[in-house]
Amino acid sequence: MTDKTFPLNTGQRIPALGLGMSRRLIRLQSGYKLVDGAYCYANEDEVGAGLKEAFDAGVKREGRVCVTKVWNTYNTRSLKALGLDYHWPILMNPEAPDGSRDIIRTHNHVKLVATGKTKAIGVCNYSKRYLEQLLAEATIVPAVNQIENHPGICERNLSSAAGDCRPVQGEGIHIMAYKPVVKIAEKHGVSPSTVLLSYHISRGSTVLPKSVTPERIKQNMVLIDLDAEDQKLLQNYSDQLTKEGKLQRFVYPPFNVDFGFPDKS
């Protein structure tokens, strides 16, 4: 299941499972084909050194997806720090260093893609409100939108008309997710974390777990196929939290800005 990929609106495919890089630790040798980082983690030089070690050890650059999240003006800086010839894809944060909204319409990304230094561009922490603003102006539709998503904070405003918490398909924007489960875990004889990671993939979203523990990084690659009963149980849990106004968000960027998500606006 860790070899599963999803199609992007660019015609390319992105791995269903990736490794969130909050530190230098690189485990491409363990089988991960997608790593995700960010300029604001202040570790791109270290991550770049880790990537170089992996490639020098024989890991092929081809087929490996390196995602970073930067402000639009910092693309070249991040590329150099990571020691890469290109990103794949690059995610633009919606908040500029000067405090203004920094959405794609203010930058010429046609030229950026044409340079070959990024295979695709996407966005991060975009609510429905800002996606609508962006799509009205953007020359290039984002390939991905990286958000917090899990049974406790099912983003209905970014879901299909069916209201089942699946990603929006109308514009082909793929969801990348960063962060009764015990009952399902016991049923399958796996850990609760395995259930949560598998939950995203069963919904068609790429998931990016973070860990600095080698054994856990390896364990996160063990995924299962959730059946219809499992998915219904998790959906009912999300529905109940929504009804009671008890959504549980664990990761929210400390940028002091309204990202437009209903539970935070």
> Tens-of-pLDDT digits for all 265 residues of the chain?
568 899 998 898 999 998 887 555 555 656 788 888 888 778 788 888 888 888 888 888 888 888 888 766 666 778 888 888 877 666 665 555 555 555 555 545 667 777 788 888 888 888 888 788 888 877 788 888 888 877 877 655 554 322 333 343 346 778 776 547 888 888 999 988 899 899 988 888 888 888 777 788 888 888 999 999 999 988 888 888 888 877 777 777 666 677 777 666 6
On whether the CB atoms of residues 264 and 249 are closer than 8 A, the answer is: yes
What pLDDT, on the 0 to 100 scale, is given for residue 226? 93
- Active-site positions read 41
Residue 150 domain-assigned (yes or no):
yes
Report CA-CA distances (Å) from 202 to 46, 184, 221, 224: 33, 14, 15, 9
Residue 264 domain-assigned (yes or no):
no
Residue 252 domain-assigned (yes or no):
no
Residue of 161, 159, 92 lying closest to 125 (CA atoms): 92
Residue 254 domain-assigned (yes or no):
no
Q: Extract the tokens encoding 76.
A: 């070249």
Residues with Cβ within 8 Å of residue 52, at least 6 apart in sequence = 83
What pLDDT, on the 0 to 100 scale, is given for residue 160? 38
Quote the crossing angle between the two packed helices 192-202 and 181-188, to the nearest 10°: 100
Residue 189 domain-assigned (yes or no):
no
Q: Extract the tokens encoding 140.
A: 């290039």
Residue 100 domain-assigned (yes or no):
yes
Sort residue 163 into left (φ over 0), alpha (ψ -120 to 50) or beta: left
What is the C-alpha separation between 189 and 191, in angstroms, rounded? 7
Residue 174 domain-assigned (yes or no):
yes
Q: Is residue 28 classed exposed, middle or buried when 0-12, 13-18 and 19+ CB atoms within 10 A define those classes?
A: buried
What is the C-alpha separation between 110 and 197, in angstroms, rounded? 34
Number of structural domains in the chain = 1
Residue 160 domain-assigned (yes or no):
yes
Residues with Cβ within 8 Å of residue 136, at least 6 apart in sequence = 105
| CATH code assigned at 11 | 3.20.20.100
Domain span at residue 38 reads 5-179+200-222
What is the C-alpha separation between 74 and 39, in angstroms, rounded? 8
What pLDDT, on the 0 to 100 scale, is given for residue 161? 29
